[in-house]
Amino acid sequence: MYQETVLKNNLTIVYERIPFVRSVSFGLWIGAGSRYETREQNGISHFIEHMLFKGTGTRTAEDIARTIDNIGGQINAFTGKECTCFYTKTLDEDLPTAIELISDMLFNSTFEPVHIETERKVIAEEISMYEDYPEEMVHDMLTEEVWSGNSLGYPILGNYYSVAGITRDDILNHMRAFYVPENSVISVAGNFDDKKLLDLVEKYFGHWQSHNYCKIHAYKPWFNRSIKVKKKETEQVHMCLGFRGVKQGEENLYSLLTLNNILGGGMSSRLFQKVREEL
């Protein structure tokens, strides 16, 4: 059973001890995703995720990688529509190293202009690569249509024009607004001592203060009915359909998941049998 603790600076820690393993997973979750962006700065949350790996006042990008590689650990991050997460997986004895590293990246990243320009090109290539995969693009097309006019429909990566216009000041201002303890959660699971864990988090994150944080209330989206077609020179056609679902936590969710499996959940599903075997 997980436990929850809130530090004096309102940073929430959710943790569960699993004594029969020798590893620990540590995650820093920030309530900053594409849903909370403007159209002009679409993609800035993902941009920041990249930049936190580019170097701090005492570590280069290579140093960050070597710090975790030298202990046989893993470090990565991802950005979604509602959050950004930085996470590690290490041996239990190396948890202090992981926590210190994440805190260094969070508080001491330098955002050097040369690194920003380099990463801008990397993200542009990432967008191009994404557009080369119709099976991925079709999902973004669906969300853009279903939530047209709402930031939930914005692509997580942004677009060429918005990413090209993001400045260093934009990045710093966005972090001041969203990268605050009240808007963040630390999650930990694995083999650790509860008191030592809380002491470590207090040591490396207890000084974290907000900058006049004001909780952002995203607009409730409207479900729009429309059809969007994009032609590409490919050998296959990709189609995506979206329907109204149920609220998270409702009992009908399990009925919907059952229907999902019947229609396309496996090799015996109706769509698989019809499209793959019969057609």
* Residue count of the chain: 279
Catalytic residue among 4, 37, 40, 49: 49
Rounded distance between C-alpha atoms, residue 88 and residue 102, angstroms: 8
Going by their DSSP bridges, the two strands 184-190 and 74-79 should be labelled as: unpaired
Counting Cα atoms < 13 Å in the Cβ hemisphere of 88 gives 27
Does 4 participate in catalysis according to the annotation?
no
DSSP codes, 223-244: ----------S-SS--------
Find, among 105, 114, 121, the residue nearest to 47 by Cα.
121
- How many C-beta atoms surround the C-beta of residue 101 within 10 A? 25
In a 3-state reduction of DSSP, which class is residue 206? Answer: coil
Find, among 62, 71, 102, 80, the residue nearest to 201 by Cα.
102
Q: What are the distances in angstroms from CA 72 to CA 23, 67, 69, 94? A: 11, 9, 5, 9
Q: List active site positions.
A: 49
